[in-house]
Structure 1
Amino acid sequence: MKAIVKNQYFWGIIALVLLIMVDVIKDPSFIQITVSNGNLYGSLIDILRGSAPVLMIAIGMTLVIATAGIDLSVGSLMAVAGAVSMEFLASAANSGSTGAVLTALGLSLLVTVILGAINGLLVSVVGLQPFITTLIMMMTGRGIAKVITGGQNTSARSDGFAWISTGTVFGFPVAFVIAIAIVALVALVVRRSALGMTIESVGINQRASRMAGIKPLYILFSVYVISGLLAGMAGVFATANVMTVEVSKTGMDMGMDAILAVVIGGTSLAGGRFSLGGSAIGALLITTLNRTVTFLNVPSAATPAFKAVVIIIVCLLQSERVRNLFKTLKRSRRVVEAAPARVEEVKEVVAA
């Protein structure tokens, strides 16, 4: 039981279950899943569909944070990906064709990979602080999105592109299936090769890893490129869902959600060991929390405070120091409760 409690997945799963229970108490039909024309419908299915963008940026953010870095630009890169895809499809002669859809997808990912590579170069080669570098890219990316769209929200019509987010495979949302497949692929590459170990070593101590024969520059560059790629995919999911890019809103606050998902998943912001599975659970938790806020009709003004309270509770439960404090208090209470009996024993010994 102690091993289970210490597991980085445990408290995230518990919090996820509790949130769903709160929703069920308010409306028992929350967990109801219906089948129509071979597709699954329900609030839980909506959570899976909505979790796809958060999953993407959380996985990329995990790798960046594991190197003791941070990527604040993911939300802006989502807007760039949406701007590129919508502008291309809006101007395409046949936006519904497979070629147009694949070209829009490829261009979106290519642009965000380039922007991610710029982040990587500035951090690894130039030696700028990741916080400053990605903060600059956050502002620059939003500006690039506005330049691409002329500062206007852009919409397009393409059933094929919309299918990426709203379609289904075996009844499940396509976006979630694609996201899980990408997460599994990244986990396979990272954990079945030396890449994961080198990322952790760079995050713990770059100088020591360099002396061990690892090239930190390549690792740092790679994780920011991967983060840019996954942010672009998240932007495609978010944009394809409504077939509109709002350059000032698309991807807004998603960077914070990704960081929270990573922290909830048990990855240390100081770098080093990381957990892709924990980040995936954290992404599901953040998505469920956002859904719960709406479901409970929490006032918009109180929404940030509500989310903060839930996240702080989860993080405190994960803290070994907090758990040890509770254990100490429990022992102290037992000692206090046993004190009267011990006093009586001493009195009997003295009387004897």
Structure 2
Amino acid sequence: MIKKLAASALVWPALALIVLLAVNVVLTPSFLSVRVQDGHLFGSVIDILRNGAPTLLVALGMTLVIASRGIDLSVGAVVAVSGALACAYIAASPEPAALGTVVGATGIALGAAVGLGLWNGLLVSVFGVQPIIATLVLMTAGRGIALLITDGQIVTVTSAPFKILGAGYASGLPVAILVSLSVFALVGLLTRRTALGMLLESVGINPEASRLAGVRHRTIVFTVYLFCALCAGVAGLMIASNISAADANNAGLWIEMDAILAVVIGGTSLSGGRFSLTGTILGALIIQTLTTTVYTAGITPESTLVFKALVVVAVCLLQAPKFRLLMRHLWRRPTRPGPTSPTDTVSAQPVSTRASAMAAK
């Protein structure tokens, strides 16, 4: 039982998360406390879940892309474009607080995200462009598009309905958490209760073999890039809604790196194939908890990337079978030989020597 538990890819991310939470409890004894105010839950743990919801959404889409043996570096740009379009539309509307205005802004933002996902999927699955190159183009161009939409300015909005997605509450919990968990449940249902997950893994393990087996690998690859962009679009709306503004320069900046790190920490292989959605959730929580820990410890925010790198390297090494085998070998103490008796000395001699000695007696 213990060996099976130690072999699980989720053990080390879970332990890393527990250690980070313990460090925060030492720094702030009331860190895990949750209070109810005006029917809503508040506390550091709730803040971690709410602030980590956009990263979790992007990481879920990234998990499927990586499982198909791909990568998407453009999610940060999609986040910026989505938030910029929504805020620009609301700011230009004569009735920014109207529900219809918010619905229209959301539709435009998500439509643009889907269009960008179609572009990535077309380049990768149809034209055979390397995923890192295809998405790197949009990573650069998308940020420029967001800056063009906002004229390089921070567009602020005042709209109560728009603020619900990023800062609103439902049933006592932040709406952002509920949306992220709903997407997680939907993806888990589709990939673990249907044949979609198996087909996706087959495409990631061996695309040519899956094609020869009759799997429409291009359709699957096209779909995962589309879904990843859609998740990034929703995350962009969350970020813009939370701060009631669109900052094309900083919105979604480095979120693609956080998403990739969360996927890797969760145990999904970058070479494609088998993936873990639960591991991705743990990875996203580790990333957000680590950021909170750095702030709580009074460390400068510029050092956050360094600490992220250290934690990721540590968790990935603990997950690597060769590293664990090496550590067991180093910590294994050599057994000391006990004192030898005359009987042991005789028994250790060759058979011919013992026979000669017995004949002499």
The two structures have a TM-score, normalised by structure 2, of 0.93
Computing the radius of gyration from Cα coordinates, the structure with the larger value is 2
The aligned counterpart of 2:345 is 350
For 1:30, what is the secondary structure of its paired residue?
Answer: coil
Query: Equivalents in 2 of 1:133, 1:183: separation in Å?
Result: 26
> How much is the aligned-residue C-alpha RMSD, in angstroms?
1.4
The aligned counterpart of 2:353 is none
Out of 5-14 and 64-73, give the one that drifted further. Answer: 5-14
Query: Equivalents in 2 of 1:5, 1:169: separation in Å?
Result: 38
1:200 equivalent to 2:201? Answer yes
Tell me the CA shift for residue 299 of structure 1: 2.2
For 2:301, what is the secondary structure of its paired residue?
Answer: coil
Letter in 2 for 1:206: P
Letter in 2 for 1:350: T
Tell me the CA shift for residue 32 of structure 1: 1.3
Tell me the CA shift for residue 93 of structure 1: 1.8
For 2:310, what is the secondary structure of its paired residue?
Answer: helix
Query: Equivalents in 2 of 1:268, 1:234: separation in Å?
Result: 24
Letter in 1 for 2:14: I
Tell me the CA shift for residue 327 of structure 1: 2.5
The aligned counterpart of 2:293 is 292
Query: Equivalents in 1 of 2:292, 2:302: separation in Å?
Result: 16
1:104-123 map, 5 Å = 104-123=105-124
Query: Equivalents in 1 of 2:342, 2:164: separation in Å?
Result: 81
Query: Equivalents in 2 of 1:345, 1:351: separation in Å?
Result: 10
1:326-337 map, 5 Å = 326-331=327-332, 333=333, 336=334
For 2:337, what is the secondary structure of its paired residue?
Answer: helix
The aligned counterpart of 1:270 is 271
Query: Equivalents in 2 of 1:51, 1:306: separation in Å?
Result: 17
1:137 equivalent to 2:161? Answer no
Equivalences, count? 346
Query: Equivalents in 2 of 1:148, 1:29: separation in Å?
Result: 43
For 1:35, what is the secondary structure of its paired residue?
Answer: strand
The two structures have a TM-score, normalised by structure 1, of 0.95
Query: Equivalents in 2 of 1:132, 1:168: separation in Å?
Result: 40
The aligned counterpart of 1:340 is 337
Letter in 2 for 1:198: L
For residues 220-246 of structure 1, give each alpha carbon's deviation from its aligned partner in whole angstroms, at most 9, with x where no partner exists: 110000000000011011110001111
From the superposition, tell whether residues 329 and 91 of structure 1 become closer, same or farther in structure 2 (CA, over 3 Å): same
Out of 219-228 and 97-106, give the one that drifted further. Answer: 97-106
Tell me the CA shift for residue 136 of structure 1: 0.3
Letter in 1 for 2:124: V
Query: Equivalents in 2 of 1:54, 1:173: separation in Å?
Result: 15
The aligned counterpart of 1:178 is 179
The aligned counterpart of 2:15 is 14
Query: Equivalents in 2 of 1:313, 1:347: separation in Å?
Result: 51
Query: Equivalents in 1 of 2:161, 2:22: separation in Å?
Result: 36
Query: Equivalents in 2 of 1:350, 1:193: separation in Å?
Result: 67
From the superposition, tell whether residues 322 and 93 of structure 1 become closer, same or farther in structure 2 (CA, over 3 Å): same
- Structure 1, unmatched stretches of 5+, are none
Query: Equivalents in 2 of 1:128, 1:165: separation in Å?
Result: 35
Query: Equivalents in 2 of 1:346, 1:83: separation in Å?
Result: 84
1:61-72 map, 5 Å = 61-72=62-73
Tell me the CA shift for residue 159 of structure 1: 0.7
Tell me the CA shift for residue 303 of structure 1: 2.5
The aligned counterpart of 2:357 is none
For residues 103-161 of structure 1, give each alpha carbon's deviation from its aligned partner in whole angstroms, at most 9, with x where no partner exists: 11111111011001100000011110000000001011111111111222211111111
Tell me the CA shift for residue 191 of structure 1: 1.6
The aligned counterpart of 2:89 is 88
Letter in 2 for 1:71: D
Letter in 2 for 1:174: V
